[in-house]
Structure 1
Amino acid sequence: IADVWSCGVTLYVMLVGAYPFEDPEEPKNFRKTIHRILNVQYSIPDYVHISPECQHLISRIFVADPAKRISIPEIRNHEWFLKNLPTDLMEDNETNNQYEEPDQPTQSVEDIMQIIAEATIPAAGTQTLNPYLTGSLDIDDDMDDDLDTDPDLDIDSSGEIVYAM
């Protein structure tokens, strides 16, 4: 189960394409990142256009005191969450005309796929996750050979592999 804070981080990453508490100047400075998390120091870059309703929701999610943070039921009733929400997904299937936009057409699968394709292209000046995602999870037939020939894996020939933490 994810908590509201982690959902907020996920939402921010989806909208901005970067982590909310990472210092853009020093993205690998984890002490600075932890400091920024503890002090709830984040900002939405000027080049990212997010509606005021969405900005309000994010500001209610990123609250240091969990007791004061917005709850899941409150999120489900938030203006940004309800905007263009299909009626069959609304709680108890109750329609809420306050948030409907009748002239707003439903998106086709092609439109959605185009948006996803565009979202995978990083915005100018942003850090991407690509350097961290370059490894492969494919297991090949040569894996046994690699295990047999790598002297660092079993230095004392005990049969145990010990990883440094």
Structure 2
Amino acid sequence: MSEIFVGIWKNAPIWVWPLFFVLLAIGLFAMKTRNSSIVPYFFYPLFGLTAANSLMGLVHVPTSWIIFACFYMVGLAMAFRWQDGLILEKKDWTMRLQGDKITIIILMLIFFSNFVNGVFEAVAPQVLNTLLYTVTFGGLIGLCSGSFTGRALRVVTLGDRGAVTSV
């Protein structure tokens, strides 16, 4: 079993580890209540593109895209509602956000699912040919990717919101 982990450590592309730590830092930062510009949210839907290459590599290409699209819409709808609760205050191009743990979970799910996909491609490519893997991978990536688009849509469509005050 340890040979597998040593092989993964030695054979993973060098850029994987800095990417992991950058995503981890972003996720940890998102756990704190903070002030933010809305500009980065315009780029959130691009996270959905990270899956395109991996989905094209699967045998069941039409099925993977259908599953991806369905779960993308579910993630979009869920995150649109959820993001509303995180926005404490919004004025023009800035907002105050409540910290959350979901962001780090979603980032790590995207990272590790793509990482596992790469490991399967190198070690057990026959797994990539199964319909179960296609549905699982496409659904997970779609749900996570859609969540970023839903969050972005909520931030962009929300008008100015004053700070919540206690009565």
Short-chain TM bin: under 0.3
TM-score (normalizing by structure 2)? 0.25
Structure with greater Cα Rg: 1
Structure that is richer in helix per residue? 2
**RCO higher in structure (CA 8 A, sep ≥6):** 2
Structure that is richer in strand per residue? 2
